[in-house]
Structure 1
Amino acid sequence: MSSGNLLTDHPELYEERFPDPERLAARWAETTLRRYGSGPRILDIGCGTGRDAAWLHHHAGRDVTAVDTAASMLAHARRHHPGPEYRQADMRDADLGRAFDAVLCLDSALLHCHTNADLAATLAVCARHLAPGGLLVVEMRNGAHLLGDRSLLDGPATATFRRGATTHTSTTTLRIDHAAQLLRRHRVWTADDGSPPHEERTAWRLLFPQELRYFLAVAGFEVLALHDGPGPRTEPVWREGDPPGTGLRADRLHLAARLAPGGHPHPTVPHPNGATTP
């Protein structure tokens, strides 16, 4: 049985498994950027396959720099979604040497910050890369949702999708690691083309609204909006013209925050290596 992350290693499968033909995620982000008066320079952290970054570049006229840790995703982005400047970087310590008007962090990318130090370091990176008054726009799963709806944890879930002549099937089991405050996922992929099964073990931070507000305040941000739906991955899905929501109980969180005047990371927030932010 092989290991790794099948969809990260094969971005074409990611786009087949999670299609977004209307580019709802990018359009939602653009609407949010316009609502809060963002300038054109955008940093997309955790850009994945580059679909959203390229749409913002070509259709919204944004000057987009997009970063990801996965070389496979970046290679796919440059080939299939050209336009933005794509760079390999870790969200916890990226240093791009320039300022942006807004930072985007979509599709739960922020939840790869598994520890408080990871989260503090990433928000400090966002703050350091923003011009005065710059925006942070985030879309991700809502950790608090699992407090009231544990149906996702009831047992293995199976899903299939087809690419070409091959049907891919995933069997997924989720569990909560209470001590680490993580949602841990065990997934096995099989395909009907004779390839061996593929096993994955991944995790996401369970972030709750109040602790998110705290970390943002420490990093120098003031929250402009924090709500569950509507959004590009909610049900019902967001549509152009929908106002920001007010609830905080559903599966997704949507955040807009502004770097406060003179905003900067608090000097006592630790980086992952144990040092403090400057």
Structure 2
Amino acid sequence: MSVPPDRIVDLYERHAQAFDRERGRSLFERGWLDRFRTIAGAGAAILDVGCGSGEPIARYLIAAGHDVTGVDSAKTMIAICRKRFPEQSWVVADMRGLALGRRFGGILAWDSFFHLAQPDQRAMFAIFAAHAAEGCALMFTSGPRAGEAIGSYQGEALYHASLDPDEYRALLRANGFDVVDHVAEDAACGGHTIWLARSAGSGHADR
């Protein structure tokens, strides 16, 4: 593709304030988030990978009683989160090299994971597994089919990629996750393609 995915961090860093202003707060994701929370368990520690400015998803999880650790590559996004929710943990890091040394009851990668190139997406499943407690809920959004696409944000090209659904299933299975549900282009959730899975691993959550 003509727009390298590595440029995305710079794009979101430069437009962090605009992103925060424009990010919808209607929480159309609520139904899926509630299913995710049910699997994770009451009070489970949540890892939000690609947390953006923390609105509205992290806010919803925090209000529901979860401790949230948010990770984003854009420093300004994390600065907004720290100011907004100072009692939570916020980390500037590239998800592709994430190694926090702890496990969580829930891992969320909503509208973030799909900005990675296909080889990087494949490698992320081992990273998810390394941070997953036994019974951990994992939820992420992808494209509906294998391919690459260039969208637009603030007049700039924005990279997206997806693997084939069968490959996602195989990667989840190989890394100790069972698929709970998968809906392609869910009309009730803004057309998002969503994966919800549960870890069968033996790691214990660090709450």
Using the size of structure 2 for normalisation, the TM-score is 0.80
CA distance 1:123–1:218, change in 2 (3 Å): same
Aligned counterparts of 1:185 and 1:230: Cα–Cα separation in 2: 20
1:43 is matched with which residue?
47
1:253 is matched with which residue?
193
CA displacement 1:16-40 (0-9 Å, x = unmatched): 33322x3333x33431124435351
1:60 is matched with which residue?
64
Q: Give the drift of 1:219.
A: 1.9
CA contact (8 A) 1:30 1:60 kept: no
Equivalent position SS for 1:62: coil
Q: Give the drift of 1:260.
A: 2.3
Equivalent position SS for 2:69: strand
Aligned counterparts of 1:49 and 1:35: Cα–Cα separation in 2: 24
CA contact (8 A) 2:39 2:136 kept: no
Aligned counterparts of 2:11 and 2:40: Cα–Cα separation in 1: 38
Match of 1:113 among 113, 116, 126: 116
CA distance 1:88–1:37, change in 2 (3 Å): closer
CA displacement 1:145-181 (0-9 Å, x = unmatched): xxxxxxxxxxxxxxxxxxxxxxxxxxxxxxxxxxxx3
Q: Give the drift of 1:183.
A: 0.8
How many residues align structurally? 193
CA distance 1:188–1:104, change in 2 (3 Å): closer
**1:131-210, aligned counterparts within 5 Å?**
131-143=133-145, 181-185=147-151, 189=155, 200-210=156-166
Match of 1:217 among 151, 173, 188: 173
Larger radius of gyration: 1
1:233 is matched with which residue?
190
CA contact (8 A) 2:13 2:75 kept: no
Q: Which amino acid aligns with 2:117?
A: H
Q: Give the drift of 1:78.
A: 1.6
Match of 2:36 among 24, 33, 36: 33
Aligned counterparts of 1:257 and 1:221: Cα–Cα separation in 2: 6
Q: Which amino acid aligns with 2:161?
A: R
2:88 is matched with which residue?
84
User: Going by fraction, where is helix more abundant, 1 or 2?
Assistant: 2
Equivalent position SS for 1:74: helix
Aligned counterparts of 1:32 and 1:102: Cα–Cα separation in 2: 11
CA contact (8 A) 2:135 2:200 kept: yes
CA displacement 1:54-75 (0-9 Å, x = unmatched): 3211x10001101011111111
Q: Aligned-residue CA RMSD in angstroms? A: 2.5
Aligned counterparts of 2:23 and 2:154: Cα–Cα separation in 1: 17
Q: Return the structure number with greater relative CO, CA threshold 8 A, min gap 6.
A: 2
Using the size of structure 1 for normalisation, the TM-score is 0.62
Using the aligned pairs only, state the percent identity.
Answer: 30
Q: Which runs of no fewer than 5 residues in structure 2 stay unpaired?
A: 1-6
2:4 is matched with which residue?
none
2:128 is matched with which residue?
126
Q: Which runs of no fewer than 5 residues in structure 1 stay unpaired?
A: 145-180, 190-199, 235-251, 264-278
